[in-house]
Structure 1
Amino acid sequence: MRGGRLRALDGLRLVAALMVAAYHYGGRGGSVTEAWGSSPERQFPTLHGPLSYGCLGVQFFFVISGFVICMSGWGRSPASFAASRAARLLPAYWAAVVLVAAVFALPVVAWDAVPASDALVNLTMLQQPLGADRVLGVCWTLWVEVRFYALFALCVVLPGASRRRVVVFCAGWLAASALARAAHEPLLDLVLMPEYAPFFVGGVGLYLVHRDRRDAHAWGIVAGGFLVGQHHAVRALSNTADPHAFAHRTVLGVVLVVAVGFAAVGAVALGLLDRWNAPWLTVAGALTYPFYLVHEHLGWVVIHALHRGLGVPSAATLALTALGMLGLAWLLHRWVERPLTPWLRTVLTRTP
C-alpha cells in the first residue's frame, strides 16, 4: 500500500464543490431566479444545460467520502473516529449556520429568515429528522454523511477495521439497500439510504483498490457501486420526459458524469494522479468544506447585489461570486477551523 497525503483527492473535493455551486448559481430555477432577476436560463442560454449537471457533484462527494472515511477510520478506535469526524464537521458548520442566519435576518436581504427556534435546532444537525426549516440548503447532504459515518463506525470501526470486514460491510450494505428500496419501508430508507449507499460503497471499494490494486473483491465492490449508483442517479436526475424542466439532463449525460466521478477517484486510488502533488491542492481541500457550506444562500445575496444592484454582467457575476465565496471559505478555515478543530478533537478524546 502506498503512503503519503493524496493531494489530488483534495483537488477533486474542490471540483465537486464547484460543480454543486455551478448548479446552484446557474443550473436550476427556483430561489436563485430572484437573485438574478430572471431565470438563469435567460442569463446563461448556452450554459444552463451543462450547469444543471452540477447537482451530480453531490454523488461525486459521496464517492470521495467513502474513500476518505475508510482511509481515516482504518486502525482508529471508535472514540477517536467519532472525535475526528465531529471536530472536522462542527466548527465550520456552526459558524456557517450563525453567519447565514444573521445575514438573512438583515432587513436589506430579500429572503426570509429561518425562525429563531429552527435556527437553533440547526446547530445540532438534527433539523431534518425534527422537521425544522434548514438554514443551509446543502445541509441535507451532511445528514446523509452523518448516517454513513454511523453505519461505518458500528460495522467496521467498532469491531476493528480489516479488509474482510470492510468487504462484508460493503457487500451487505449494497444488498440491504436494494432490499430496502423494494420494501418501501421509511425506516429502512432512513437507515440504509438506498439512493446514496452505492456511491459510499464505491468509494470504500476504491480505497481497498488503493491498498491493493490486485484485490478482485475490491474491484467487484467498485463495479457494484457504480452500476447501482448510476441507476439511482438516472432515476432521480434524468428528466428528458419532463416538458417543464428547467434543463433536460439525459440518461447518457447522467451516466457519463457518474462514470467520470468514479474514474477520477479511481485514478487517485491507482496512483495515476500522484504527480498532482502541488501544495496548493491541500489549500483547495481545506477550503472545500466551508465553501460548500456557505456558497448557496450567501452566493444568492452576492449575485443579487452584483447583478441587480450594480449591473455586473452575468458571467462576471458568476465568477466574482464563486471567488468571493472561496475568500469567505478561507476566512472560515483560518479563523474558525484552524483554532477550533484541534481544540474540539482534544476535548472529545480527553479521558474523564
Structure 2
Amino acid sequence: MSQRRLTASPRLAALDGLRLVAALMVVFYHYVALSRPWGHNPATIFPTLHKFAEFGWLGVEVFFLVSGFVICMSVWGRTLGDFAVSRVSRLFPAYWVAIPLTALVVKKWPEVTSIRGWDDVIVNLTMLQAGNNTKNVDDVYWTLFVELKFYVLMAIVVLCGVTYRNLLIFCGVWTVAAALAPSLGFPALAAFAMPQYAPFFIAGIAFYLMRRFGSNPLLWGIVLFQLLLSQRYIHYRMASNLGHVAAEHLPTWPVRLIIVAGFAVVGAIAVGLFDKVQWKWLSTAGAITYPLYLIHMFIGMTLIHHFRNRLPAPVLVVSVIALMMVTAWLIHRFVERPAGLWIRNSMKRGIADVRRHTPAGPAGRARVGVQPPNPYGVPVEAERGAALLEDGVGSRVH
C-alpha cells in the first residue's frame, strides 16, 4: 500500500471535541453520580441524570484511546529529546497550578477530603507520587501516572526509530505482554503492560497509522482485537468506580456500548469522516480539557458540598462546571501558553548542550536520540510537520 501524500490536510478539530466530551463525562460522573459532594446518594436529587452520570468514568477510557492516537502523532519524526520537551512542556505548567490551587481549597474547606501533609503536596509536584505510594492531592491524578508509563514505552519506540513497521511490532509485543502479565506473576511487567488500559492506547496507535497511511485489514484487525480485549476488565472498572455492590447489579451493556462508540468515533476521525468539522471553538475546547480535568474534582466537589444547601442542585452543578471551565481557560491562556513556551525553549537549550558535548558517531547519535533515516525517504522537516498535534491544542495532519 502506498504512503499517504504528505500535504496539508484538515485540522483534527473533531478530536478536540471528543476530548472535551470525555472530560465532561468524567465531570458529570464526579458531580452527579458520587455521594461525596452531596453527603448522600445523589440519585434522590437527580433520579434520571444519575443513571447516565454513573457511567461517566468511561471518559477516562476515551482519553486513553485519544492519547494513543495523539502521542503516536507527536513522536513521528522526533528525537527522544524532542519528545521529552513536548511532554514536559505540555503536562507540567497546568499541573503545577492545579496542585497548589486544589491544596488551598481543600485546606480551607476540608469537607470532602483533606491534605495529609504538605510533604505529600510537594512530592505531587513531580507527578511521580503513585510510584512511591504518596497520596494524590486530587484523585484524578492517578491517570497521569498511567500516561507517564505509556510515554516511557513510546520513548523506547523513539529510540528504536518511529516507523510503520516498528510501531506494528510494538503493538504486537505490548498486546502479548498485557495479555500474559496477569498470569506470569511479575509485578513490574504488569505495572508497565497495564492490561486494563493497553487496548485503548494500542487501538489509538492503530487509528493514527490509518490516518497517516490509510486503512487496511491489518490495522482494522488490530483495532478489533483490542476492542475484544478491552471487554476483559469491564467488571473490574465498574467495581473500582461504582463499588462492588453496584457493579453486581448494574447492566454491563451501557459500558460496552460506550466503549464501542468511542472506538467508532476515533475510527471515523482516522478515516477522515469528520474532516469537514472545522468549528473554531473546538480548538479552545481541546485547549481547556487538560486543565479542566486537573482542577475539577476536589475543588468542584468541595464547592458543591459547601453550597449544597444554599442553591438548587441543578443550578449549583451548572454553576460549578461553568466556573471550572472558565478557570481552565484562564490557566491555559495565562499559564500553559507562556510557561510552556519558556519550558520548551529552556529544555531545547539544555538538550543542545548535551548534543554539543556528545561525541559524534553511531554511539553518540544513539545517546542523544537522533532518528535513523525515514524508510519512505521523507525529510525530517516534513515529518515534524506531521507531529504538531499536542494534547489540547489541535493540529493539521499529513
TM over 0.5: yes
Counterpart of 2:272? 271
Mapped partners of 1:315, 1:337: distance in 2: 31
1:53 and 1:92, CA in 2 relative to 1: closer, same or farther beyond 3 A?
same
Deviation string 1:75-133 (CA, Å, 9 cap, x unpaired) is 11100001101110001011100111112122575642231011100001111111111
Root-mean-square deviation (Å): 2.0
1:246 Cα offset (Å): 8.1
Letter matched to residue 167 of structure 1: L
Mapped partners of 2:13, 2:19: distance in 1: 10
Identify the match of residue 124 of structure 2 among 95, 99, 122.
122
Deviation string 1:179-216 (CA, Å, 9 cap, x unpaired) is 10222432111111111111100100111111233322
Asked if 1:143 is matched to 2:145, the reply is yes
Range moving further from structure 2, 183-192 or 197-206: 183-192
Identify the match of residue 18 of structure 1 among 17, 24, 40.
24
Mapped partners of 1:107, 1:50: distance in 2: 29
Whether the 8 Å CA contact 1:170–1:201 is kept in 2: the answer is yes
Counterpart of 1:343? 342
Mapped partners of 2:247, 2:292: distance in 1: 25
- Segments of structure 1 that go 5 or more residues without pairing to the other structure are none
1:259 Cα offset (Å): 0.4
Counterpart of 2:380? none
Asked if 1:261 is matched to 2:251, the reply is no
1:346 and 1:27, CA in 2 relative to 1: closer, same or farther beyond 3 A?
same
Output aligned runs, 1:152-171, within 5 Å. Answer: 152-154=154-156, 156-171=157-172
Counterpart of 1:297? 298
Counterpart of 2:173? 172
Structure 1 outlier segments of 4+, above 6 Å: none
Counterpart of 1:80? 82
Identify the match of residue 54 of structure 2 among 52, 55, 59.
52
1:234 Cα offset (Å): 4.1
Letter matched to residue 171 of structure 2: C
Whether the 8 Å CA contact 1:52–1:247 is kept in 2: the answer is no
Mapped partners of 1:67, 1:291: distance in 2: 21
Whether the 8 Å CA contact 2:111–2:306 is kept in 1: the answer is no
- Point out the structure with max Rg over C-alpha: 2
Deviation string 1:279-311 (CA, Å, 9 cap, x unpaired) is 100000000000000000010122123322x2x
Asked if 1:330 is matched to 2:329, the reply is yes
Mapped partners of 1:199, 1:102: distance in 2: 34
Counterpart of 1:64? 66
1:244 Cα offset (Å): 3.5
Question: Does the residue aligned with 2:274 lie in a helix, a strand or coil?
Answer: coil
Identify the match of residue 15 of structure 2 among 9, 23, 32.
9
Counterpart of 2:95? 93
TM-score of the pair, normalised by structure 2: 0.82
Question: Does the residue aligned with 1:245 lie in a helix, a strand or coil?
Answer: helix
Aligned-residue sequence identity (percent) comes to 43
Whether the 8 Å CA contact 1:16–1:57 is kept in 2: the answer is yes
Counterpart of 1:43? 45
Range moving further from structure 2, 77-86 or 316-325: 316-325
Mapped partners of 1:226, 1:243: distance in 2: 24
Whether the 8 Å CA contact 1:238–1:254 is kept in 2: the answer is no
Counterpart of 1:317? 316
Question: Does the residue aligned with 2:115 lie in a helix, a strand or coil?
Answer: coil
Range moving further from structure 2, 250-259 or 312-321: 312-321
Mapped partners of 1:255, 1:107: distance in 2: 38
Range moving further from structure 2, 214-223 or 132-141: 214-223
Whether the 8 Å CA contact 1:49–1:249 is kept in 2: the answer is no
1:331 and 1:42, CA in 2 relative to 1: closer, same or farther beyond 3 A?
same
Question: Does the residue aligned with 1:105 lie in a helix, a strand or coil?
Answer: helix
1:6 Cα offset (Å): 0.6
Question: Does the residue aligned with 1:244 lie in a helix, a strand or coil?
Answer: helix
TM-score of the pair, normalised by structure 1: 0.93
Question: Does the residue aligned with 2:167 lie in a helix, a strand or coil?
Answer: helix
Whether the 8 Å CA contact 1:25–1:300 is kept in 2: the answer is yes
Mapped partners of 2:112, 2:195: distance in 1: 37
Range moving further from structure 2, 112-121 or 229-238: 229-238
